[in-house]
Structure 1
Amino acid sequence: GVNITEVKRYITMLFVSGLISVCVSEFHTVEVQPAEQVTLMCSNFSSFITYMFWFRLDSRPNISPISSMWSSTANASLYDGFQNGKFNMTSNTTTLFLNINHVDLSDSGLYFCGFYSDGKPVIVTATYLQVQGKSVWSVCFD
C-alpha cells in the first residue's frame, strides 16, 4: 500500500530541493470570495492510474495531504484538518475534482494533485486558490 506520510515526505523533499519551483506567479490562479464554493480540477488522468491525491501548500509553508483515492470509482479518504465536510474529492476517470464549500481565508494556498507511479508521486497540476481579503504570497521556494 501507499503511505500518505511517505508521499508527503517525498513531495516536501521535491519542494525543498528546488525540483519543484514554487513562485505563485507561475501557477493558474482561481479567485473566490469568502463563503463561496469552488471546484479545482486536475485533468489528463488515465483510467489505469491508481492512488490519486490532493495536497495543499500554505503560506507557513506547510504541506498538508487533503485527500486520496485508489481509483476513480473508489471513495476518497480525507485527512486530518480536511474532514470537516468542506472538502470533497471525486473523479470521472480522466479528471480529478476537489470541491471546497464555504471557502474562508484559511483555505488560501497552492493546491496540487497527482498520482503514484513506480513508487513515486507525480504532480500533475498546481492551482493557487486566492481568497479575497488574503494577500497573495510573495514567496518563492527555490
Structure 2
Amino acid sequence: MKTPNTTPNTKSLPVPQLGDQLCFALYSTSLAMNKLYRKLLKKMGITYSQYLVLMVLWEQDQQTVNDIGARLILDSATLTPLLKRMEAQELITRVRAAADERQVIISLTKAGNDLRKQAAALPISVMCAAECSSEQIRGLKDEILALRAALLKNA
C-alpha cells in the first residue's frame, strides 16, 4: 500500500506574514522582557545573564560550572567568560575542586549574596510592567514551559 503524501502543496499555502508568526511573537516579547530587565538590573550593576547565574547560586551556592550551565541551558564556552567577569566584579569566586581539578566550583561572595535583597523586588516590578496578575504570570509561564518542552521534544 502506498503511503499518502503528507507534504503540503506549497503553491496553495499563503505566504507567511510576520505578525501571524508565533516565533516572532516570542522573539519580540523576549526582546521587550530583556529591555525591561536591563533597566531594572542597571540599578544593581549587573546584566540579565549575571542575574540568571546569581539566581541559580541563590537557590544553591557552590555549584560547578557544568551544573550552572545545565540549569541555564548555556554551554561552558558562553558561561566561562560571563563567570570571569562576575569574578572580576567580586560577585562570585571560582575555585578548582579538590577532588577533581577539571571541575570549577562557583560560589557567591558577600557582595553577590547581598544582591539577593535588591532582587527580591524584581518579580513585582515585572508583573506591574506586564500589567498582569500573579495568576496570569504563572499561567503564561506554565504555557511557555509546555511549549518549550514540546519544541525540544520535536526539534
Give the TM-score range, shorter chain: under 0.3
Of structures 1 and 2, the one scoring higher in RCO (CA 8 A, sep 6+) is 1
The structure richer in strand per residue is 1
Normalising by structure 1, report the TM-score: 0.27
TM-score (norm. length: structure 2):
0.25
